[in-house]
Amino acid sequence: MTRNVAIVGGGHTRWGERDATWKDLAQEGGKATFDAVPDVGPEDIEGLFVGTVQPERFSYQTHVAPMVAELLGIEVTEMIARTELACASGQAALRYAWLAIAAGQLDVALVLGVEKMNLGREHMPEMQASMSNVLDREFDGVNGLAAPPFFAWYAQRHMHEYGTTREQLSEVAAKNKSNAAKTAFAQFQSEIDPEDVLDSPEIAPPLHLYDCSGITDGAAGLVLMSEEKAREVTDTAAWIAGSGQSSMAGNSINNLPSFDGWPQARKASQSAYDQAGIEDPLAEIDVAEVHDCFSISEIIEYEELGFAERGEGGQFVEDGRSRIDGDVAVNPRGGLLGCGHPLGATGISQALEVTRQFQGTVASDRQVDGPTTGLLHNLSGSGSVHSVMVLDRDPQ
């Protein structure tokens, strides 16, 4: 049994460096979600899926899904789970909720992503050590392979192979941070120029500070429903049309197939496109929320997701083709570079952005013109896992 599944709405906390606990953020995110979908309350939720990466490290708490149910007053009657897939944990939670509803196991689900990452500046070494856990800690993490130097390798290789320029990296960061200045919950609220990116401190050559996403506290939530239930509460939903995942290399950098691209992203996106009936992504996708944890990531993703030919991602952004009024609006909310990256909440925020774009409820100066098809993309770990989902304004 398969059924159409809709995202009917959702809510957000403010993202950034928050004076709030993990529990605080979970409650705030849950309340914002129910406030945004007034016809749905805790008593309607049959399934709960919580995306979160390291509450054990940052908040010393495990078994968090039942805790969220308790905090939000939900008596889960059918299904409850916490998902952990590093930076794709939120999309993993969304995917499992979709599959459960499509299979007829439940009709209404809450998907909540929560991450508390800031412990105070004096704890920065501990925070960075925790982040290195997403790599193979025994071999990669202990050798100092944190995220900035890892993605710097990709930038260096892409520049060497294809002539990608430092200025093109700056175009990505400036575009996304300027979009975030129009997004109320975003961590970073200043419009910047490409020159500002180059003027920011160099972190791992060729990456500068503004090429890197932030360490972020925050939560975001979604309500998913079967088609029958969704039509009772809204006529402007986002319908899940396809989903793909690929992990072709394990987690160690020694097994990665490339340092200038992600064939895993190409495979995952093709699976999602096949399910959704997408033949020409550039022509058919109107808005895309992609995983720009670093500016080079977005450039490579243009290529692997089918928006640009291999090696032409830098030119794609330089020509303005990924701007809100371009060929495909990429990261109109500001992406990870502008909004921040509370790991477990990111994929859920991306889905909420596309839903709101369909509903026409985002700020007018970042509203895409009449979008009907959207894409979500996350990478996780050493870039070894890629997750892609296609959303439509109308059910198939």
**Which residues have a catalytic role annotated?**
87, 341
Closest alpha carbon to 233 in 57, 37, 390, 66: 37
Q: Is 40 exposed, middle or buried (0-12, 13-18, 19+ CB in 10 A)?
A: buried
For residue 294, which phi and psi values (nearest 5 degrees)? -140, 155
| C-alpha–C-alpha distance, residues 259 and 253, integer Å | 10
Q: What share of the chain is helix, strand, coil (3-state, %, to 5)?
A: 45, 20, 35
Which H/E stretch holds residue 351?
A: helix 343-359
CA torsion sign for 14, 15, 16, 21 is: positive
Residues 289, 296: contact at Cβ < 8 Å? Answer: no
Is residue 385 a contact partner of residue 264, using CB atoms and an 8 Å limit?
Answer: yes
Q: How many CA atoms lie within 13 A of 278 on its CB side?
A: 30
